[in-house]
Each structure stands twice: as structure tokens, then as C-alpha cells.
Amino acid sequence: MDLDFTPEEEKFRAEVREWLEANVPAEPLASFDTAEGFAAHQEWEARLHGAGLSVVTWPVEYGGREASLTEWLIFEEEYYRAGAPGRVGQNGIYLLAPSLFEFGTPEQKARFLPPMASGEEVWAQGWSEPEAGSDLANVHSRAEKVDGGWLVSGQKTWSSRAVHGHWLFALVRTDPDSVRHHGLTYFLLPLNAPGVTVRGIHQLDGYAGFAEVFLDKVFVPDDQVLGEVGQGWKVAMSTTGSERGLTLRSPGRFLAAADRLVDRAREAGPLDDGLREDVADSWIRARAYQSYTFQTLTRILDGESIGPESSINKIFWSEMDLRLHETGLRLLGPAGELVEGAPEAVDGGRWADGFLFALAGPIYGGTNEVQRNIIAERVLGLPREPRSKR
């Protein structure tokens, strides 16, 4: 065991910290699910990119700096400590890019990765459908082969960032006789193409963070198929592993939130024992999450693959995040209800907003019930639950 960072890693931390201190906007940006906020966040991504900090682990040729996973963790820790803006491009960076690196052609990588890194092109997720939520393989959208490409028709939903974003990465059935996860293909589809209709869906925070995307014979050229035709499930799964694993939720986020919670508790005056214990519990869990992540990192560096155990991670952070924000609201008492824009909101209303955001955690990226099934059957090897056949 050696939990120290190398001098090079500490130097990297100092550089990141210095840049963030000089550049993070003093006032929080408007929500990136508004037109104004979206533009402001794109501008922020461009600045981050200019400093070589938007996609630190990527190869230099695509806009990264080939940072190690350890350095990525350091970057994230500093990013959240500095209270820097949310990442408007995170769906592309964390969900699509891993698949692009693994399955993309050299042309696709050169075409799509650089504008993703700079925030110029923002990607929306296009997997879920009205009938394909937890049961993601139940995709009904179809594509028909035509000369030079495909005509895609169907309906996607819960597509984050689709209202203001530019591209959709979508899972579509290309073999009409196929069922379940067979016969699916992974498409890269421009949201401004003829035949695309986007309707925003307002989330609990009041902003249209999701959208329904209606596709009516949208032409997608052959060179915008990612991976092989019929292999879409495999391509998408390389991405979901990434979403549930190390990459989407870094410890820095929760450590920063737990520290803010402790600050609030210090300012709140005398607290009952129950509330004090709950504050301590959130802080303990955020720190445990960091240690767990270091353990995962060690295993990855030792050449192990993480696989279904990433479901353990997803349950832990999503429940921890929710508990932390519930405790935050209790600490604030009557002011806990006040949201962004309220004259007397504490911390700009971030506790109530953070609570709403945390509520989504146990649902997206595979509900926690799906994760428990995965843990039971694929991590622990319990007998499979009988599945209905379709």
C-alpha cells in the first residue's frame, strides 16, 4: 500500500488548482438546460479545452494530454473542490468516447473526438425508448438499408442534452427479424437532420434536461455507424461499463459535497446527536468512496478488469449522494426548501437543486434494482431468476 502521489502527480495537481483558481467563474452559470446556460457552458468547455484540461486522459491528437487514471482522479478532485461548472459535454465524453476509442474507425475518431473535446459539439444519449428503459434490449427503433446508408425511424426518450445538443448516439434495430440484444446497430446521428423532431421534457428541477427524439426516416450515412452492423449491443455495453464504473462519478464530487456539508453543520449552531451522526456518516462515506476508487484504480493498473462489480459502485455512490443531500436539507431547516433564484436561498439553492439531482442517481445508468440483479447473479453467482421469454 502506498497512498502517496508522486512529485509529478503533485505538480499536475498544483497546475490544475492554479488554473481553476484563476478561471472558475465567480457566479454560477445558468443551468445548461437553458439556451443561455448551454451557450455559457459551451464557452466554459472551450476555455477548459484551451488549457488542455477538458479531456485530460485522451491522446494529445484528439485534445487530451494522456494523463494517467491517477491524474484524472486528481483533476476531478480539484475540479469539484473549485466549484467549477457542470460538464455539459459529459454524455459524449464519458458515454460515447470510450466506445469511439474502442470501435471507431480512424476517420470517425478524427471527425468526432476533437469537437467533443472542445465542447463545440455536444452529444445526447439515444438508447432509451418508451418500451426500453431498464429492459434496454427491448429496442423498437428500426433502420432500413438504403444506398450509402440507413433510414432510421422510431422514438427515443430520456435523451439528456438533446434539446440544445447537436448529435445523438443511438441504438437501433437493423435486423427486423432479430430480438433482444441481437441485430442492433450503433448510429451517430445529427440532431439537425431532416426527419428529426426533438421535444423537451421538463425534469423535477423545471428544466428540459431530457427530450423525446422522434425519428422519421432520418438518413444516416454508412460511415456514421459505430462498430459493425448488428454489433450495437456490444458497442453500447463497452460504454455502460464505463458509465457504471470508475469514470462517471469521481470521488472528488462527493468529497467536495461532504466538506460543504460539514461547513454548513459548523455554521448551523447546536445540532441534535442524530443530525450530527448523519453529517459524520456522509463524510465517512465520501471518504470510503475515495478509498474504494483507489482500490479499483489499483486493480485496473494491475491489469484486472472490473466488469459486473461496477454495479456495487453505482449503488453505493447513488445512495450516498442522496443521503448526503437529504442531510443537507435537514441542516438548513426551513431554508432547505429554497431553490436557485430565491432571495434567501443558502449557497445559491444548491442543496435543494443537488437533492433533486441526486434523486435521479438510483434511476439512471441502470436502476439500482437492475444493479442488484447484476450483483446477485453475476458477482455472487446466485441462481438466475426465471425470465419471461419474448
243 as an active site residue: the answer is: yes
Determine, following the binding rule CB under 8 A, whether residue 370 of this chain makes contact with other proteins: no
Distance CA 200, CA 168 (A): 14
Determine, following the binding rule CB under 8 A, whether residue 383 of this chain makes contact with other proteins: yes
The neighbouring-strand residues paired with 125 are 169
Determine, following the binding rule CB under 8 A, whether residue 39 of this chain makes contact with other proteins: no
Contact assessment for residue 223 and residue 105, using Cβ atoms and an 8 Å cutoff: yes
Distance CA 122, CA 32 (A): 11
* Smallest separation, CB 340 to other proteins (Å): 27
Contacts of 205 (CB under 8 A, 6+ apart): 31, 339, 353, 356, 357
Binding-site string for other proteins from residue 148 to residue 177, where x marks contact by CB under 8 A and - marks none: ------------------------------
* Smallest separation, CB 288 to other proteins (Å): 4
Integer CA distances (angstroms), 149 to 113, 126, 229, in order: 22, 19, 11
Q: How many residues bind other proteins (CB under 8 A)?
A: 51
Determine, following the binding rule CB under 8 A, whether residue 388 of this chain makes contact with other proteins: no
* Smallest separation, CB 279 to other proteins (Å): 6
Residue 310 backbone phi and psi in degrees, to 5: -65, -20
CA 121 to chain centre: 16
Contacts to other proteins from residues 261-320, by CB under 8 A: 262, 265-266, 271, 273, 276-277, 279-281, 283-285, 287-289, 291-292, 294-295, 297-299, 301-302, 309, 312, 315-316
Determine, following the binding rule CB under 8 A, whether residue 375 of this chain makes contact with other proteins: yes
C-alpha cell at 252: 472528488
DSSP state of 91: I
Determine, following the binding rule CB under 8 A, whether residue 198 of this chain makes contact with other proteins: no
Determine, following the binding rule CB under 8 A, whether residue 260 of this chain makes contact with other proteins: no
Per-residue burial over 255-285, b = 16 or more CB atoms within 10 Å of its CB, e = otherwise: bbbbebbeebbeeeeeeeeeeeebbeebbeb
Question: Which are the catalytic amino acids?
Answer: 243
State the residues that interact with other proteins by CB under 8 A: 1-5, 9, 70, 262, 265-266, 271, 273, 276-277, 279-281, 283-285, 287-289, 291-292, 294-295, 297-299, 301-302, 309, 312, 315-316, 369, 371-373, 375-377, 379-386
